[in-house]
């Protein structure tokens, strides 16, 4: 992909699957870092009260005074007061911590509660080319906020039996949000993760995913490797931690596919 001379308005991507441990956070960090390597300005939004995205970028969530929670709940707070720079040039972070779990309850009584995140991100759209939202493992109000704010959804799917279980519920939720809240929302793609080419099992699951979702499956497949858990401990993306690794190459390939699907190469 070529460099870009002008930035924004941002395409917003929700990284979403209500199942935990499928690679949402890992994919958010590494897709973001790969897009930044290609010269795109990237904002990553930690939208899980667990704060794993923040931890994965070397931030201690417990020490934060202001997080995405404050941006949602306090009108008039400037994004700059919450934004953090990351070690990756061109990539910023809206961090989160356990405070965000209160938002799920507090938002229920708000007017237009589903579009709170969309309103909070509004002032930042022109500063970035991509905003990637790392969703929590549920289909509750926070995730509905992410889907309402997003243009596109990426669904990471672990290459395990039963991976497809629950996808129908996710697809239904995406369709409801499309109908009622965000007609622009599109499924960008299904991302097969934790693929182990040595097992027949992984290959069978991948074949079933492709059969079920066809063109919606990215050509990029993320292999299973211990390198990813290592990057979490290191607090940096695989693209810098192990720049020449297979895992880094895979996320760069995913970034090129995402750019192509957005017609932004
Ligand atoms: P989620 O955000 O969906 O819960 P994570 O990205 O946190 O999933 O991944 C869950 C765990 O699996 C983490 O410990 C992460 O380091 C590890 N992991 C993620 N992707 C891979 C992979 N391709 N191979 C091996 N381990 C992975
Ligand atoms: Mg996560």
Instruction: Tell me how far the alpha carbon of residue 137 lies from the centroid of ligand 2, in angstroms.
Output: 7
Number of domains in the chain: 1
Which ligand 1 atom is at minimum distance from the Cα of 223? 23
220 CB under 6 A from ligand 1?
Answer: no
Region for 77 from its dihedrals, namely left if φ exceeds 0, alpha if ψ lies in -120 to 50, beta otherwise: beta
Spatial CA neighbour of 140 closest among 113, 163, 178, 110: 113
- 41 contacts: CB under 8 Å, gap ≥ 6: 7, 8, 90, 91, 127, 128, 129, 130
How far apart CA 65 and CA 234 sit, in angstroms, is: 23
CATH of the domain at 84: 3.40.50.300
Instruction: Tell me how far the alpha carbon of residue 228 lies from the centroid of ligand 2, in angstroms.
Output: 13
> Mean pLDDT per 10-residue run, the chain (265 residues)?
87 97 98 98 98 97 96 92 97 98 92 94 97 97 98 95 87 96 96 92 89 93 96 95 97 98 84
In a domain, 156, yes or no: yes
Three-state secondary-structure class, residue 181: coil
Spatial CA neighbour of 7 closest among 175, 108, 131: 131
In a domain, 108, yes or no: yes
In a domain, 6, yes or no: no
Instruction: Tell me how far the alpha carbon of residue 163 lies from the centroid of ligand 2, in angstroms.
Output: 16
* pLDDT of the residue at 264: 77
In a domain, 5, yes or no: no
Is residue 180 exposed (0-12), middle (13-18) or buried (19+ Cβ within 10 Å)?
A: exposed
Residue nearest to atom 16 of ligand 1 (CA): 229
In a domain, 254, yes or no: yes
| Ligand number nearest to the C-alpha of 232 | 1
In a domain, 180, yes or no: yes
* pLDDT of the residue at 166: 87
The H or E element that residue 187 is part of is strand 186-195
* pLDDT of the residue at 170: 95
Which ligand 1 atom is at minimum distance from the Cα of 26? 6
DSSP 31-95: HHHHHHHTT--EEEEEESTT-HHHHHTT--GGG-SS-HHHHHH-TT--GGGT-EE-SSTTEEEE-
In a domain, 170, yes or no: yes
* pLDDT of the residue at 199: 87
252 CB under 6 A from ligand 1?
Answer: no
In a domain, 4, yes or no: no
* pLDDT of the residue at 158: 93
Q: What is residue 130's DSSP assignment?
A: E
Which ligand 1 atom is at minimum distance from the Cα of 193? 23
How far apart CA 149 and CA 43 sit, in angstroms, is: 14
User: Domain of 18?
Assistant: 11-261
Instruction: Tell me how far the alpha carbon of residue 39 lies from the centroid of ligand 1, in angstroms.
Output: 26
Pocket mutation for ligand 1, best pick of 19, 26, 220 (most atoms within 8 Å of C-beta) = 26
* pLDDT of the residue at 183: 97
CA-to-CA dists, residue 170 to 164, 186, 200, angstroms = 10, 13, 27
- Cα torsion through 37, 134, 48, 115, rounded to 10: 120
52 CB under 6 A from ligand 1?
Answer: yes
| Ligand number nearest to the C-alpha of 155 | 1
């Amino acid at each position: 992909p070529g460099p870009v001379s002008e930035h924004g308005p941002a395409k917003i991507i929700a990284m979403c699957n209500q199942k935990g441990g499928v690679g949402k956070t890992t994919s958010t960090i590494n897709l973001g870092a790969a897009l930044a390597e290609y010269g795109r300005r990237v904002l990553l939004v930690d939208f899980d009260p667990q704060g794993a995205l923040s931890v994965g970028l070397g931030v201690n969530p417990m020490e934060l005074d202001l997080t995405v929670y404050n941006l949602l709940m306090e009108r008039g707070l400037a994004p700059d007061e919450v934004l953090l720079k990351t070690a990756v040039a061109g990539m910023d972070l809206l961090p989160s911590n356990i405070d965000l779990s209160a938002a799920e309850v507090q938002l229920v009584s708000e007017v237009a509660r589903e579009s709170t995140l969309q309103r909070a991100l509004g002032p930042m759209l022109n500063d970035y080319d991509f905003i990637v939202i790392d969703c929590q493992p549920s289909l509750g109000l926070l995730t509905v906020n992410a889907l309402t704010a997003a243009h596109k959804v990426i669904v990471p799917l672990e290459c395990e039996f039963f991976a497809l279980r629950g996808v129908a519920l996710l697809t239904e939720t995406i369709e409801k949000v499309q109908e009622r809240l965000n007609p622009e929302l599109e499924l960008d793609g299904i991302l097969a993760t934790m693929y182990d080419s040595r097992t027949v099992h992984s290959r069978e699951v991948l074949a079933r995913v492709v059969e079920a979702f066809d063109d919606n499956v990215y050509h990029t497949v993320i292999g299973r490797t211990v390198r990813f858990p290592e990057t979490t401990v290191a607090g940096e993306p695989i693209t810098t931690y192990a720049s020449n690794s297979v895992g880094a190459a895979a996320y760069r390939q995913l970034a090129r596919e995402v750019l192509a699907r957005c017609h932004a190469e």
